[in-house]
Amino acid sequence: MYTADSWPIACNMLSFGSTAPDGTPIEDAPASVWAGQLRQVRELGFDHIDPTDAWVPLGKLSDARVKEFHSVLADEGLAVSSISMTRSSVVDLEKGEENLRIAHRLMDLAPDFGASVVNTGFMQALTPAQQKALWFWLADGHVDDPELRPLAIQRVRELGDHAQQNGLQLSLEMYEDTYVGTPEEAVRFVTDVDHAAVGLNPDLGNLIRLHRPMPPYTEMFEKVLPYSNFWHIKNYTRDEDPQTGSYSSAPMPLKYGVINYRAVIRRALELGYSGPFCCEHYGSDSIGVCAENRDYIRQVLQSALR
């Protein structure tokens, strides 16, 4: 069990994007570009990162480039607590088998990086409408095919076996209109997988931001926290006008959004949560907000673990 001071709280690197400043794919960029971006995070006081494949896709790098990445991390004084796959569904009709292969490679790479969990999910590439929207979640995206659910369970169980062999956990990120798109669906899916190394990423920020009816967040967390082993954590404002049927939402630091994370984190600990945190934020100075969120989480942990 971690202490409040030792609990891994990572910065998700997705805000840097998948291309270098000169337009080069970040996976092909010189290691100095990786170092410069990592240094910005380290200067904000982070000890850990999540090198999501929305930034540097570790699972696609050659062994030589993986070694380079190790060296850059060491030089910048950073560690990896988790590795996330973003929009890389293992049942994608075109890329599912490739994504599965990459997920297996991440299972082999993760222990060398010191990561304890690999995070994946069933969200897929943004649609043209989502790419044009101010916030991508304001437009409808991919919807999972119920007929592929058995294959999804089979492949997640396969990854769970690999994770367990390597002393890891596999976490499934909650995301709308996927097999883990509501608390009920998420619990049903992870229960059907029925694997000790597979749990949920209770990223309910992905749902709270949607402009659609939503149950109270306290009810949703109560259902999924007992199954959670990793946490993409972020917050949003949310407003609903029942007279007009209108909604509004916007990204906010953890302390100021609609979710009371002081209460939710304390409840998670009561239910046995012991996984890493990974701070996310969209818009504005994303990594700066993530640093504020890290300090907030640390203080909540210090209070809760006394």
pLDDT of res. 6: 98
pLDDT higher than 90, residue 1: no
Residue range 14-20: mean pLDDT, rounded = 97
Render pLDDT for 78-100 as a digit per residue (tens, 0 to 9): 999 999 999 999 999 999 999 99
Map out the domains of the chain with their CATH numbers. Answer: 9-304 (3.20.20.150)
pLDDT higher than 90, residue 194: yes
Axis crossing angle, helix 183-193 with helix 217-224, rounded to the nearest 10: 0
Burial class (CB in 10 A: 0-12, 13-18, 19+), 250: middle
Render pLDDT for 216-267 as a digit per residue (tens, 0 to 9): 999 999 999 999 999 999 999 999 999 999 999 999 999 999 999 999 999 9
Residue range 139-161: mean pLDDT, rounded = 98
Q: Is the Cβ–Cβ distance between 32 and 22 less than 8 Å?
A: no
Residue 84 DSSP one-character state: E
The chain-wide mean pLDDT, for the chain, equals 98
Cα–Cα distance for residue pair 175/186, rounded to 1 Å = 9
E-strand stretches of 124-253: 169-173, 198-201, 231-233, 235-241, 246-252
Cα–Cα distance for residue pair 281/283, rounded to 1 Å = 7
Residue range 260-286: mean pLDDT, rounded = 98
Percentage of residues in the chain having pLDDT higher than 90: 99
**Residue 74's pLDDT band (boundaries 50, 70, 90)?**
very high
Render pLDDT for 119-138 as a digit per residue (tens, 0 to 9): 999 999 999 999 999 999 99
Beta strand pairing status for 246-252 and 235-241? Answer: antiparallel
What is the secondary structure of 36-60 as a DSSP string?
A: HHHHHHHHTT-SEEE--TTT--GGG
Lookup: tokens for 146: 């119920």
Residue range 157-186: mean pLDDT, rounded = 98
Residue range 25-46: mean pLDDT, rounded = 98
What is the model's pTM?
0.97
Q: Which residue has the tokens 């203080």?
A: 299
